[in-house]
Amino acid sequence: QVANAVNTVSAVTSSQSFAMGYSLTCQDGFGTCTLEAAVAVIVTEHGPGRCVYYPYARQADADAYFDSRSWMFVSRIMFRSCNGVIEEEIRAGGFPLAHNTIRSAASS
């Protein structure tokens, strides 16, 4: 019974992530552009609730940074963007625990 309870708790915690309070700031560098010129935006979480967005003018640049080894363990989500508006989620990477917080920050 204890093993079943542990498995149930593990399944619930791994399949759910909770959004928490957040801040959202833009990061310069890393090949970024203005949000208005972006076709893709990567939003990451660096510490609890501290979200950062990286706007890219070219999808290929966004893909290269998203797939880079240095971001392998960083919670991140890539969104499609048009005229400065984040429109839809393209893909997610890194630890999923922060993904709902990232989604909340991106929709604000």
3-state secondary structure 30-42: CCCCCHHHCCEEE
CA atoms within 13 A on the CB side of 78: 19
Q: Over the stretch 33-73, which tens digit does the pLDDT of each residue have?
A: 999 999 999 999 999 999 999 999 999 999 999 999 999 99
Phi, psi of 35 (to 5 degrees): -60, -35
Is the full-model pTM beyond 0.75?
Answer: yes
pLDDT, mean over the chain:
85
Residue with the two structure tokens 């080894």: 69
Rg (CA), the chain: 15
pLDDT value, residue 9 = 32
Residue 19 pLDDT class (50, 70, 90 cuts):
low
